[in-house]
Amino acid sequence: MDLNGLAQTSGEWLRGTGPESDIVISSRIRLARNLAQFPFLSRADDAGRAEIESLLREPISSLPVDGELTYFSVNNLDALDRQFLVERQLISREHAEMHGSRGVGIGAEENVSLMINEEDHLRLQVLRSGFALDECWAEINSIDDALEEHVTFAFSEQLGFLTACPTNVGTGIRVSVMLHLPALALTKEIQKVFQAMQKMRLAVRGLYGEGSQAMGDFYQFSNQVTLGPSEQEIIDKLKEVVDGIIKYERRVRDELVVKNRQRLHDQVSRAYGILRSAQTITSEETMHLLSSVRMGINLGLVDGLEIPTTNELFIQTQPAHLQKLRDEHLESAERNVARATYIRQRLGSSNHEHN
């Protein structure tokens, strides 16, 4: 797997092929695990981190999952490559910014990512296109079982899996679904969703997880409770909640089309027009405009443009991807010009018409 080559492609989770993919971008499950014989990373020195990495690297590299896993020593990657992996959701921002020995095993389809020495000794992640939590769980559960044949995880009969952060103790599971909710955002109905999530102790975050903004009307919904309920119960609860949000978004989209079709069509057309003609554009504006266009495609207001293209553009117009695609370091203003050029090329490559 060549990181420069990856910039030209997209992982399976971006292809818009999964269930409910008009609204659900991706489903993800993460598991936090620690080796029984080592202290948590907050107490580990550099030698300890190196030992943990070398101990986990072999069983991870030989896992028969998602094609063949490619292993990267994250501490040996430059800042641009680390940022690139963050933008592709293959490592966390924390993993990119930490120090010392750490690595990641990445599957050929980018559905599987196994981070060594992030907050915990090991973070397993499975991503899937669309609303596919059961498939994520089946795969990550089998990976977890396969690893347990080679290593012993820190586990307490009373508490379950032991983790660096107390909020992950128990199952160590984080279940999340990334939704595109432009209609709820446009009508301000999203506030009701946030309030309901708070009451149900579910977290709402932006595109890049904790501390990130909800750019482009993307919202990640995930569990906060990991101790008490089983993994399946946690998954089932989130599935039920997300199902309700999907229905809510669809209903509001349909109402917008009935009540304000002309205004909505105008908004989508203007967004599409700017993207196809802008000479310079920021990442934030790109996300905002692509969000409108993506909704327009789903509502039949744009012809000749596919959802996978808009999904890819959300990622490929991020700073590290642009620099990879151009194979040069770009300052912020230069990136804005390069971004506009790249979008014009992608959207101008075929003859798109409006209804």
pLDDT of res. 10: 82
Q: Which phi and psi angles does 244 have, rounded to 5°?
A: -65, -40
b/e string for 107-143 if b means 16 or more Cβ within 10 A? bebbbbbbbbbbbbbbbbbbbbbbbbbebbbebbbeb
Which fold, 3-229?
A: Creatine Kinase; Chain A, domain 2 (3.30.590)
Give the residue-averaged pLDDT of 46-67.
Answer: 89
Q: How confident is the model at residue 213 (pLDDT cuts 50, 70, 90)?
A: low
Q: How confident is the model at residue 28 (pLDDT cuts 50, 70, 90)?
A: very high
pLDDT of 301 over the 90 cut = yes
**Maximum Cα interatomic distance, the chain, rounded to a whole number of Å:** 64
pLDDT of res. 355: 45
pLDDT of 66 over the 80 cut = no
pLDDT of 98 over the 70 cut = yes
Burial of 242 (0-12, 13-18, 19+ CB in 10 A): buried
pLDDT of 235 over the 80 cut = yes
The percentage of the chain sitting over the pLDDT mark of 70, rounded to a whole number, equals: 95
**Cα(44)–Cα(316) distance, rounded to whole angstroms?**
36
pLDDT of res. 216: 82
pLDDT of res. 246: 97
**Cα(224)–Cα(167) distance, rounded to whole angstroms?**
7
Give the residue-averaged pLDDT of 188-205.
Answer: 92
Q: How confident is the model at residue 65 (pLDDT cuts 50, 70, 90)?
A: confident
Chain-centre distance of CA 210, in angstroms? 12
Mind listing the pLDDT tens digit for each residue in 257-280?
999 899 999 999 999 999 999 999
Contact indicator for 225, 234 with CB cutoff of 8 Å? yes
pLDDT of res. 3: 83
Give the residue-averaged pLDDT of 175-184.
Answer: 96
- The per-residue pLDDT of the chain, averaged, comes to 91
**Cα(271)–Cα(285) distance, rounded to whole angstroms?**
10
pLDDT of res. 101: 96
Q: How confident is the model at residue 1 (pLDDT cuts 50, 70, 90)?
A: confident
Chain-centre distance of CA 67, in angstroms? 20
Give the single-character DSSP code of 120. S
Q: How confident is the model at residue 351 (pLDDT cuts 50, 70, 90)?
A: very low
Residue of 10 and 325 predicted with greater confidence? 325
Identify the bridge partners of residue 153 per DSSP, sorted by sequence position.
35
Mind listing the pLDDT tens digit for each residue in 109-149?
899 999 999 999 999 999 999 999 999 999 999 999 999 99
pLDDT of res. 322: 94
CATH 3.30.590.10 domain range(s) in the chain: 3-229
b/e string for 299-327 if b means 16 or more Cβ within 10 A? bebbeebebebbbbbbbbbbbbbbbbbee
pLDDT of res. 162: 96
Give the residue-averaged pLDDT of 218-229.
Answer: 92
Q: How confident is the model at residue 29 (pLDDT cuts 50, 70, 90)?
A: very high
Give the residue-averaged pLDDT of 93-120.
Answer: 94
